[in-house]
Amino acid sequence: MRVTTDFWVSALVRRVFAANGFAAVSRKGAAEAGTVLLVRRDRFGDAWLYVPAAQADYDEDRPSERMFAQVLHTQDEDEIQARITRELRFDSDLWIVELELDEAQLRELVSLTTP
């Protein structure tokens, strides 16, 4: 059974802070089953956008675990915003969670796959 998006995002934010990172919800979507986009930033101005992984990437042993795939790595904030705007056209119930932590820390908190 999958937990609600609201609960999952709240838990992620708490876990990021516990890992000495920073997290902020910049947009709230549907509380029950909204899609989550992750924007990870570093102190050098790089940003990465992660979207839910394709269904084919899910592990049969843990089918309810949320998985994410990196779709963008850039220093151009407009590029990140353009991709988010495009995603919002398809799904207005998106959650956007901004994170400041390194990739190794993120991998400890969420499942990442290569697109």
Q: Residue 49 has what pLDDT? A: 96
Measuring CA to CA, how many Å separate 95 from each of 6, 15, 32, 64, 81?
9, 17, 11, 18, 14
Q: Work out the average pLDDT over 59-66.
A: 62
User: Which CATH number fits the domain that encloses residue 47?
Assistant: 3.40.1530.20
Q: Residue 112 has what pLDDT? A: 86
pLDDT at position 64 over 80: no
Percentage of the chain modeled with pLDDT above 70: 89
Tally of domains in the chain: 1
Please give the torsion angle defined by the CA atoms of residues 24, 30, 35 and 41, in that order, rounded to the nearest 10 degrees: -10
* Phi, psi of 67, rounded to the nearest 5 degrees: -125, 150
Q: Residue 37 has what pLDDT? A: 96
7-51 pLDDT, tens digit each: 999 999 999 999 999 999 999 999 898 899 999 999 898 999 999
Q: Residue 65 has what pLDDT? A: 74
pTM across the whole model: 0.88
Residue 7 host element (H or E): helix 5-18
The domain in which residue 50 lies consists of: 5-113
